[in-house]
């Protein structure tokens, strides 16, 4: 590949190249002015253990940008393999959570009932970067299931990360 900056940049090919990195599938939830919302993300990572910080990226062109960019609290949920439909819905469909999908305890963000892992966060920093907003959160509470296979995404398709505890038995 050339370092020549005058060559046209093929965004579609670049996106396919990035798809070669398998990611977990997460849903971020927050209370918004329009009610409890969810959005599917795969741009999630741990930033720091001390203090406990995580980040996720929000497309500035998303119709949910303003709702999530302004949220002071949010929760990140790692989805189990059974929740593919939920992932699709929050990626492209209705983003408002129905009352039977989540639990909430003031002042925590909406908590999905079936997540493998949930991280409750306070927004620590918002960093505009390119065509995305990086949202850094300070983890204030978390829960993790003892077992379960995680939903993954690789080269434009869903997959699963098998639970290592299951293979030990």
Residue 146, both tokens: 């003892």
**pLDDT score recorded for residue 153:** 86
Tell me which of 102 and 54 has the higher pLDDT: 54
pLDDT tens per residue across span 103-156: 876 678 999 988 999 999 999 999 999 999 999 999 999 999 988 898 988 888
Domains of the chain with bracketed CATH? 12-168 (2.30.110.10)
Question: d(Cα 19, Cα 11) in Å, to the nearest integer?
Answer: 12
| 3-state SS, residue 41 | strand
Q: DSSP label at 147?
A: S
Query: Is the pLDDT score of 2 beyond 60?
Result: no
**pLDDT score recorded for residue 124:** 97
pLDDT tens per residue across span 44-95: 999 999 999 999 999 999 999 999 999 999 999 999 999 999 999 999 878 8
Tell me which of 104 and 160 has the higher pLDDT: 160
Of 54-58, 95-99, 158-162, the range with the lowest mean pLDDT is 158-162
Confidence of residue 1 (pLDDT cuts 50, 70, 90): very low
pLDDT tens per residue across span 15-31: 888 777 778 889 999 99
* Pairing between β-strand 157-161 and β-strand 150-154 as defined by DSSP bridges: antiparallel
Q: Exposed, middle or buried: residue 46 (CB in 10 Å: 0-12, 13-18, 19+)? A: exposed
């Amino acid at each position: 590949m050339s370092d020549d900056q005058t060559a046209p940049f093929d965004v579609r090919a670049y996106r396919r190249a990035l798809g070669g990195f398998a990611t977990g599938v997460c849903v971020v939830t927050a209370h918004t002015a329009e009610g409890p919302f969810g959005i599917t993300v795969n741009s999630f990572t741990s930033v720091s253990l001390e203090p406990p910080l995580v980040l996720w990226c929000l497309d500035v062109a998303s119709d949910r940008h303003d709702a999530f960019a302004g949220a002071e609290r949010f929760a990140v949920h790692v989805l189990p393999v059974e929740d593919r439909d939920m992932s699709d819905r929050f990626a492209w469909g209705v983003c408002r959570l129905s009352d039977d999908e989540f639990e909430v305890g003031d002042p925590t963000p909406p908590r999905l009932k079936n997540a493998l892992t949930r991280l409750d966060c306070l927004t620590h920093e918002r960093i505009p970067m390119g065509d995305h907003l990086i949202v850094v959160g300070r983890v204030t509470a978390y829960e993790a299931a003892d077992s379960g296979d995680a939903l993954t995404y690789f080269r434009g398709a869903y997959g699963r990360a098998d639970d290592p505890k299951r293979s030990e038995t």
